[in-house]
Amino acid sequence: MNKVLEMSGLTRRFGAVTAVDGIDLDIVAGEWVAIMGPSGSGKTTLMNLLACLDAPSEGRYVLDGVDTSRLDDRERTVVRREKIGLVFQQFHLVPYLTAQENVMLAQYYHSMTDKEEAARALAQMGMEHRLQHRPSQLSGGEQQRVCIARALINQPAIILADEPTGNLDEQNEEIVLDIFRDLHRQGRTIIMVTHNPEMGEQAERVVRLQHGRVEAADPTPVTP
Amino acid sequence: MFIRMLRQSFLRGRKRKALAVATIVISASLISALMTISINVGDKMSRELKSYGANINLLPKSESIPLEIGGIDYNPLRGQSFLAETDLPAIKEIFWRNNIAGFAPFLKTPVRLAGQRQPVQLIGTWFDRHQPVANEPDYRTGVRQINPFWEVVGDWPEDRAFGGVLLGSGLAAAAGLEVGDRIRIELGEAERQQSAELQVVGLLKTGGAEDQSIVAPLATVQQLTGLPGKIQAVSVSALTVPENALAKKARRNLDALNTEEYDRWYCTAYVSTIAHQVEEAIPNSAARPIWQVAAGEGAVMRKIQLLLLVVTVAAFIASSLGISSLMSTTIMERSGEIGLMKALGAADRAVYLLFLSEAAVVGIIGGLLGCVAGAGLAQLISLGIFRSTVPFAPVTLPVILFTSVLIALVGSLAPSRHITRLLPAEVLHGRN
Amino acid sequence: MAAISLQQRQNLRMFLRILLQSLRIRKSRVLIAFCSILIGAAVVFALLSLYFDISIKMSRELRAYGANFFVGAAETGQPTLEADVYRRVLEQIPATRLVGASPYLYGVARLDLGNAVLAGVDFTGLRRLSPFWQVEGKWVAVDFDEEHCMIGRALARNMALKVGDQLRVFKRETGFNQSLTVRGIVETGQAEDDQIFVNLSLAQKILGQPGRINHAMLSILSRDFDTDALAARLKEQLPGVTAAPLRKVSYSEGKILEKIKGLMALVAVIILAATTFCVMTTLVAMVVERTREIALLKSLGAENRSIVRQFLIETGCISLAGIAGGMLVGFLLAQLLGQAVFGAAISFRIAVVPLTLTVSLVAALLAAIMPVRMALRIAPATVLKGE
């Protein structure tokens, strides 16, 4: 069993409010996990902690063999760009860069840009004809595909997706879901935050949050 | 609802509004300070320009032509006419009395230093005399006030004492005299010749005719010449405004002015007006502007006022553009909000109205605070340069308020294309 | 080694691409920042140019007060100088410094209705020397004009003379007896009001003093010019000559110039501060607008350093362009100010260029500090909160 991610007693407090309250969770490589729960259940805070965008108040979080809970901002930045690929609900592309450049941006902060590699990554998403378009010239689904290509480009240990189809129509939702299925087949580890039950069904395992705690989780599957 | 939106917008975007208000405060204070200084610079510089000496010369009304070359009169026989020393306080009782910076009477007579043939001038005047006038019992005036360029080595003579004099530096050098020496002078014509002994208390350097003269207290000269209470001329130093077309017209022919023009002329501190009023106040006198000082002052004052005006305008334009760019940026930043408002059915006009009202409120708050800060700033500048405070001109308040609001509005109108072109769908779907 | 340099090359290219795109696509924002910096630099340039020129310009304006230097004979009484001495004095003064000068020769002459002091002058020089003369009629324009004269206001009134009238001048000692036409009536409020003015050559003839003068008055631009030293040099080189600055004018001139310079300096500093503040608030507003973008870059793993670098270089590029344009506009603005106030061009000084560059860059960087600090404080988690 190859654990890519281990959490124990992970807690995040904002003043008197405890948003995430002692979560224990392990995720093995190649797993597709959906984190679900109603608004205010601590999904976003947990996502921030998973993405190393925020530091826990208490508890331990080991990502791909690195204990991140004691790192400072700078070190977390390094972990983020080495091990995590982020997919956003709002896509978040840099408006003044083309699709290809947006993908290259991740390479740039990671190590070194490679135009061809970025083009290939976009081609895999079916975007080879859209390389030189800026976000404002792309549809929502296309923007999300650029965002996914950007998340994958550095071969991250985990892919974190925050409501990836939340801003998409059905047709585009299907395209994006197909991409995620593909990624899963390729053996990528995917963690997806959503409150869409259909999305949840696609995942191997669903973790339900309620008031910052894990309410119900499917058992950790045995590695196939 | 509109008011509520406005209020919420202010409460929510407090930081952003504070930034805009702060910028307007800074710019408005700068402009109001410059305006205050510009308005008062005439007064202040006029006082500074008093260092050029008196600008009005008051003489007895007389028909005879003096034949004076280099301070020596070649016509000693002409009938002398005099003014009365006791009339002098009337100079401080004219309409423009507060613009009289100082005055000094003069009585001159040719004398010979003992043992020398060449005559020199003995000049009697007030140095720093206590002369009570209406409303100012402590008023002091004399050459020290009106001729600050007079440089004295040693002491200034006492006005009330007899015999202490200033010796012109050129004369002292030629005669080998120094501070503390006693000199004997002879005056009067051959048969009525008399002599007197004077004490040199200081050496005087002016670069003018006084360098070759002896300057004594007025009372001393009146006693020596036997002319008690008599004076020949008065130099008056007055704060004036530069001459304009009206003043020139009045100068050519006073009777040509109609009543309204005359009143306007009489109530403006032109040098000719003050000369006219001094002439009215002192019986039997003729007042003449000393054009070297009066015209020079006018030319220089106009330049300085123009300079400040132009600089103020430049600063005004610069800060308006600065504020405009800030207002534009803050509006562009709120694309999301604009898109939402439009999506909810707001017409472009309604969006404008909200933003313009916000700008107006920001402009008013910024302008008011700016006026207060500007008044303080103006005091600092004035104290730093002129060592005196400036009165706050009430006209600045409306001007600054109006322009602050105007600048804020113009800055908010600049990105109007941005507002009209914005499609709500684009904004709400994150395609910006 | 080669791999590293390839990486550096590739990343530099990406950096430049980001920079270029950011400047190219965000046109309206960049334009606003560019404009505000341009205006700032223009104001700085114009004010500095004006400040450096103000002494010279005002010093020229203050020449409205007339002569500030006197040259005469060393002995007291009524001695005279060779007219040649006057020429040698003028040679000692750089032509650009000399505003005007005139020799004077005085004597008493008899007119129709009585005696008057007659002065021989150089009218062309006198006109520049004494711009404050209030003249009714015209100046005597030609140097060798021996037909015309100018008379003082009081003299004209006493002798009932008007412009254009004929006036007979006698001098018993020289046997001179000739009619002159009154070309102008002068008013100064001083001794000149009682005098009659003719060309020096004519006065020398009337008074029987060929080639001689009493003294000379000069109007010299005294800024950065030691008139006391000039006086000492003249006394040393020309025996029998005394020379001195007229304290009445020269003393006041220094004082007034100081005040004006101080005023300008203070005003310039205040305007500079306000302009910096305006530029700063614009940059701050621009960073606020880009909060989401910065958060995104951070979530992609951008370090603070690279964000600071991008922002500073972006600001730097806009600033340099703005400053370059600003200097151009500032120069034109200075000319406009110069024409409006002094009716003369403001000279271009190369020293103003680096000074403006430094001041504006420092101001722009200072103005960028606060927004950059704000940028660094932006939490990357901001990206996840959908707006």
Residues of A in contact with C24 (CB under 8 A): 96
CA proximity to C58, closest of C332, C294, C260 = C260
Residue C216 in contact with residue C71, Cβ under 8 Å? Answer: yes
What does the pLDDT look like over B226-276, one tens digit per residue?
Answer: 888 889 889 999 888 888 888 888 877 788 888 888 888 888 888 889 999
* B233 interfacial to chain C (CB closer than 8 Å): no
Residue B365 in contact with residue B408, Cβ under 8 Å? Answer: no
CA proximity to C267, closest of A66, B385, A7, B195 = B385
Chain C residue with minimal CA distance to A136?
C25
Chain C residue with minimal CA distance to A74?
C303
CA proximity to B76, closest of B110, B121, B116 = B110
Other CB atoms within 10 Å distance of the CB of residue A95: 19
- Distance of residue B229 Cα from the nearest chain C Cα, in angstroms: 24
* C297 interfacial to chain A (CB closer than 8 Å): yes
**Most B CBs within 10 Å, among C108, C134, C281, to test the B interface:** C281
**% residues pLDDT > 90 (chain B):** 8
CB contact under 8 A, A167 and B431: no
Closest CB from A54, A77, A109 relative to C381: A54
Residues of B in contact with A167 (CB under 8 A): 429-430
Chain B residue with minimal CA distance to A95?
B432
> From residue B205, how far is each of B310, C216, C222 by CA, in Å?
39, 19, 19
Instruction: Determine the pLDDT at residue B13.
Output: 66
**Most A CBs within 10 Å, among C384, C385, C387, to test the A interface:** C384
Instruction: Determine the pLDDT at residue B430.
Output: 46
Characterise C225 by phi-psi region: left (phi > 0), alpha (psi -120 to 50), beta (else): beta
Helices (H), B49-191: 143-146, 169-175
Other CB atoms within 10 Å distance of the CB of residue B261: 13
- Distance of residue B112 Cα from the nearest chain C Cα, in angstroms: 12
Report d(CA B389, CA B5) in Å as an integer. Answer: 44
CA proximity to C383, closest of A52, A79, B339 = A52
Chain B residue with minimal CA distance to C273?
B26
Instruction: Determine the pLDDT at residue A41.
Output: 84
Report d(CA B228, CA B232) in Å as an integer. Answer: 12
Size of interface A-C (CB pairs under 8 A): 97
| DSSP of B38-49 | HHHHHHHHHHHG
- ipTM tops 0.85: no
Find all residues with CB under 8 Å of A183, minimum gap 6, and list them: A152, A159, A190
* B426 interfacial to chain A (CB closer than 8 Å): yes
Tokens of C90: 């003028």
* A90 interfacial to chain C (CB closer than 8 Å): yes
Tokens of C180: 């002159």
| DSSP of B116-139 | --SEEEEEEE-SSEE--BTTBTT-
Report d(CA B79, CA B73) in Å as an integer. Answer: 13
Instruction: Determine the pLDDT at residue A14.
Output: 85
Chain A residue with minimal CA distance to B432?
A136
What does the pLDDT look like over A97-128, one tens digit per residue?
Answer: 889 988 988 888 888 888 899 999 999 888 88
Tokens of C68: 């500030």
- Distance of residue C315 Cα from the nearest chain B Cα, in angstroms: 15
Instruction: Determine the pLDDT at residue A223.
Output: 43
Helices (H), chain C: 2-25, 27-61, 83-91, 123-129, 153-158, 200-207, 227-237, 247-289, 291-299, 304-342, 352-377
Instruction: Give, for all 387 residues of chain C, the pLDDT tens digit.
Output: 455 677 778 778 888 888 888 777 777 778 888 888 888 888 888 888 888 888 788 888 888 888 888 888 876 555 678 888 888 888 888 888 888 899 999 888 888 888 888 999 999 989 988 888 888 888 988 878 888 999 998 888 888 888 999 989 988 888 888 899 999 999 888 888 889 999 999 999 898 888 888 889 999 887 777 788 888 888 888 888 888 888 777 777 778 888 888 888 888 787 777 777 777 777 777 777 777 788 888 888 888 888 888 888 888 888 889 889 999 998 998 888 888 877 788 888 888 889 888 888 887 777 777 777 777 777 777 665 543
Report d(CA C233, CA C219) in Å as an integer. Answer: 17
CB contact under 8 A, B174 and C256: no
Helix (H) / strand (E) element for B255: namely none
**Which residues of chain A approach chain B closer than 8 Å at the C-beta?**
90-91, 95, 135-136, 140, 143, 167
- Distance of residue C267 Cα from the nearest chain A Cα, in angstroms: 41
Residues of B in contact with A143 (CB under 8 A): 430-431
CA proximity to B111, closest of B99, B103, B102, B120 = B120
**% residues pLDDT > 90 (chain A):** 12
> Mean pLDDT over all residues of chain A?
86
The residues facing C73 across adjacent strands are C241
B223: three-class secondary structure by DSSP: helix
CA-CA-CA-CA torsion for A124, A130, A131, A137, nearest 10 degrees?
Answer: -130
* B333 interfacial to chain A (CB closer than 8 Å): no
CB contact under 8 A, C384 and A88: yes
The residue assigned the tokens 């956003």 is: A88
